[in-house]
Structure 1
Amino acid sequence: MTSISNLSWVPPANNVSSLQFDNCDIPSEWLSNYFRARHEWPMNATKNMLLAGYHQYWMDSKITPPTPGEVMNWFFNTTLTNDDDSVVKALTKYTNTQCLDKFCSLLPWQGNADFAGRGMLATYATEAVFVTFYVVVLLTAKAHRSKTTGKAGFGRIHEATRESLRAFLDAALLFAIAMLVAAVYNFGITLYDSDKAVTFISSIMSAFVSLFSILPAIALHSSASSNLRRSKTRIWIWLLIGSLTIAMMGLGLFTYGSIRSRYKKVVQLDSSGQLLFEETCLDVDALGMFTGLLVCLFVILAAFVLIYVIFVCVWTQQSKKTGCFAKFRTVWTAFAAFGSMVLMWVAFGVFCYYRSHMDSRAGDSNQDHEWSFGQILALFTFVPVVIEWVTIWWEGAEDGLNGLMSDQYKVYRNDAVSQVEVEEVHEFKA
């Protein structure tokens, strides 16, 4: 009896050049089905793959093509009986080298909508635009104080910006805390249950956007923090943000090895397609660079905090002195606000670039381009800030701020309060 491997139509299975396809539909469908089925052979896709891939080889060699049954008999005899994976390697190599884009689009990769969804991207952009507006107005007012006291034009814009800063800063701080808590959860779940561990790019992206969310708060705080009250409360909030940041980076470093080792163990058995997409379809060098930029962003934030702590300690000791030190304080806060704003836009650009890179090979299952209920809620985080700014700009600071309190209290300007006190003293003497 003639051995199946000795049949004249049997192609050199380990030679990828023997495979030829008119398009990438068949090989991509075969390999995606193969991984989705946890390495169980998709019968129909395998048959179509072999008949289509080696058809040109049989024609060029003037060999009568075998029947589908003969092809399947040869394939399973070679693969299962003889434990020869050369055919599978040839088919896989061809798909990965010639049809990678099509293959990746068929994997059910869902993306990272919680951090990179369209709604979240709009939220980041909205916050960045608002922060830029606030910082530019407040720093311009500091540089030209004599020109910002009017009730019209820029003076009115500055007044609305200054008096609505508290609400914006509180919203930015709350948003940063929420992003940090989500990132800590992403890393922490890996320690709790490795089977529920998030993918590598999801963990890196969550860490990056959580650090990014701190920059707007720093820019706002530095631009006019000296004009705000409740400073002690904000100190505790910043301590909470610092603690969450340290916890997130610590968990990230601790779980990095665990996530990578999990890749090696289960990536080939991942029927969901999440790990396989990241391992096969994403540029390893690009992911490494993204990780490096994450570390750089953390180092910059840590350096900023260290300088700020040193500055506060020195300022506490020199609080009764003026002159050069007071001038340095003004320059430092302006530099911190402007530098944080620039770094915020750089980080946002980096995030958009890598988000676009990850989506370039994704298919219809990618949820990054969809809106979710949570994303819409996140976008509306800063709507009250806009309402307050418009109200103060339209009605003026006193009337606008009066609307924030009950009718039991009333807001006066400091100079107006002083005038009222003087009049009361004169009336008392009279």
Structure 2
Amino acid sequence: MSFNVSRVMWSTDWQPPAFSALNFNPNDEDLCEAAGAWKAANVGFFQEQQNYITPDYVLAYLRAILPSNITQPDDYTLLHWYDGYIIKDLNETSRMPFLGSLLGKLSDFPLESCASDVCKSLNWVGDPDVSGRGMLITYYIAAGLVTTYGCALAISNSSIFRQRYPASSKRAWLLSGFEESVSAFLDATLIFAASMLAAACFRLAQAFFQQSGASSGHWMIYASIGSIYMSTFSSLLPLLLQLVAHDVRRHWLRILLWTIILLLNIANEVLFDCFFARVRVYQLRDLIEEIWLSYCSPTALFAHGITPTLRLAQILLILNAVFYVTYRACRVKTGDTKGWMKLKAFWRGAKPYVRFLNATICCLLMWSMLGLFNYYRDLVNDVAGKDNQNSDWTFGQVLAVATWVPVVVEFATVLKYGPEEGLGKKISKKYAVVSNTTTDYSEKEMQYLRVETGPSTADRI
């Protein structure tokens, strides 16, 4: 350990005070601030981020521990005391201070009594790509839109609503805007979830290779937690829409996107578990991040809030995937046995209740994850220093917020012009959208009843 100083002089008029007379009061704010800055600088030095520690950190810390009733020495005398005497108590083999030495006390005091000041001096930059202010707004907009669509479609599908309000009523007209624009919204949430999961997969792979020693970097713990948590949250958005919008036509592209989402969720969980398994067994290779995880990160919230809700969301996704595959396999099965017919009749009666329970759990879990992540982010921001970039806006965050603008435009168009003309504006004038009033056609036949060749609605008026 060395200093960027060209001259060190020893003043014979000043003698260091006794160990017991030094000031190590944990309630001294000036002392804690100086101790935290010195400790963070030492961590950076041992992490080989810098070639020397600037004298300012050492001088501030030493002056803070000196009793106020003694003669204050000049800077060069203090540096000579530190470089010529104090650090001599460092064990060259273990690179640890000797037990009971002043160097040991100087090293242990910041983490034992002033951990918050150490955290503020670690140059923690955050992760604006996942937990930036713009991304948080994006998550809330998405969750709010999905919840609004879910409630509107649930009301629209209820028999009580259909009995009380005719199709020509204003309430039915409003709900038709949700019904006819939900398909575009579902596609948008699927693409958003797939993008989030793909980005999280890259981030988690980077963390895994860093811990393996194949790459270098900092702050992968926080980035990994935020990436897997919010990418899993994004998977609940299309799941909730898919549950409430059960009349939306199946499309091969949606099935492909759902397959990609499930595979990426599995890959992310494997990478996340492998990364944290290495952390638990070998500890972090990054000393700076080891201190952050031990003293700055809200580990209690991670253990009792983040992890349980993450596991519940993953289980819900897997159960729905297994159920869908099983349901499709059983649906094509033919049989006229008495037991099979009873099972089909039972499922027809239980299906609405199972779907409602599934959607309710998904909605509650979605909002719980968003609230917990917001709280987790706030706790981290409270202990971070001036280098924190979690509240900064970036170019990508602006684009993320704009993701949901087409959904609002789609809803407004359908609401203003009506389902037929509103949806007709999305296709060329060669075709016209007509209302399908029958329910006796097969799904393949209904696909062609929806669109007819001919003049547009506006041209016929």
**Fold shared per TM-score above 0.5:** yes
**Cα 1:266–1:11, aligned 2, differ >3 Å: closer, same or farther?**
farther
CA shift, 1:148, in A, is 5.0
Q: What TM-score do the two structures reach when normalised by structure 1?
A: 0.84
Q: Using the TM superposition, name which of 22-31 and 206-215 deviates more.
A: 22-31
- Find out whether 1:106 has 2:121 as its counterpart: yes
**Cα 1:359–1:407, aligned 2, differ >3 Å: closer, same or farther?**
same
**Cα 1:13–1:266, aligned 2, differ >3 Å: closer, same or farther?**
farther
Provide the residue aligned with 2:144 in structure 1. 129
CA shift, 1:153, in A, is 2.0
- Find out whether 1:77 has 2:114 as its counterpart: no
For 2:188 and 2:25, locate their aligned partners in 1 and report how far apart those are by CA, in whole Å: 62
CA shift, 1:382, in A, is 1.1
CA shift, 1:159, in A, is 0.6
Q: Is the 8 A contact 2:35 2:110 kept in 1?
A: yes
Provide the residue aligned with 1:428 in structure 2. none
For 1:80 and 1:42, locate their aligned partners in 2 and report how far apart those are by CA, in whole Å: 15
Provide the residue aligned with 1:295 in structure 2. 311
CA shift, 1:170, in A, is 0.1
- Give the one of 422, 428, 440 matched to 1:400: 422
**Higher helix proportion:** 1
Q: What TM-score do the two structures reach when normalised by structure 2?
A: 0.78
**Equivalent residues in 2 for 1:12-411 (5 A)?**
12=19, 17=24, 21=28, 23=30, 24-38=32-46, 40-56=52-68, 59=69, 64-83=71-90, 85=97, 86-143=101-158, 144-147=161-164, 149-192=166-209, 194-196=214-216, 199-225=220-246, 227-259=247-279, 264-267=284-287, 270=288, 276-289=291-304, 290-317=306-333, 323-411=345-433
For 1:319 and 1:403, locate their aligned partners in 2 and report how far apart those are by CA, in whole Å: 45
For 1:15 and 1:83, locate their aligned partners in 2 and report how far apart those are by CA, in whole Å: 20
Task: Indicate the percent of aligned positions where both proteins have the same amino acid.
Answer: 26
Q: Is the 8 A contact 2:232 2:314 kept in 1?
A: yes
Provide the residue aligned with 2:456 in structure 1. none
For 2:75 and 2:390, locate their aligned partners in 1 and report how far apart those are by CA, in whole Å: 41
Deviations along 1:2-33, one digit per CA (max 9) or x if unpaired, are xx9xx963331798747884624333333333
CA shift, 1:181, in A, is 0.4
Deviations along 1:364-409, one digit per CA (max 9) or x if unpaired, are 2211111111111111111101001011111111110001101111
Provide the residue aligned with 2:8 in structure 1. none
For 2:362 and 2:258, locate their aligned partners in 1 and report how far apart those are by CA, in whole Å: 16
SS at structure 2 position matched to 1:49: helix
> Aligned partner of 1:211: which letter?
T
Q: Using the TM superposition, name which of 153-162 and 338-347 deviates more.
A: 338-347
Q: Using the TM superposition, name which of 186-195 and 167-176 deviates more.
A: 186-195
CA shift, 1:211, in A, is 0.8
Structure 1 residues without counterparts, runs of 5 or longer: 422-430
**Cα 1:412–1:256, aligned 2, differ >3 Å: closer, same or farther?**
same
Deviations along 1:62-92, one digit per CA (max 9) or x if unpaired, are x555554443323223344443633333223
CA shift, 1:352, in A, is 1.1
Q: Is the 8 A contact 1:29 1:45 kept in 2?
A: yes
**Cα 1:255–1:148, aligned 2, differ >3 Å: closer, same or farther?**
farther
For 2:283 and 2:348, locate their aligned partners in 1 and report how far apart those are by CA, in whole Å: 54
Q: Is the 8 A contact 1:20 1:54 kept in 2?
A: no
**Cα 1:401–1:323, aligned 2, differ >3 Å: closer, same or farther?**
same
CA shift, 1:338, in A, is 2.5
Length, aligned pairs only? 404
Q: Is the 8 A contact 1:137 1:161 kept in 2?
A: yes
SS at structure 1 position matched to 2:245: helix
**Cα 1:207–1:43, aligned 2, differ >3 Å: closer, same or farther?**
same
Which structure has more relative contact order (CA 8 Å, sep 6+)? It is: 1
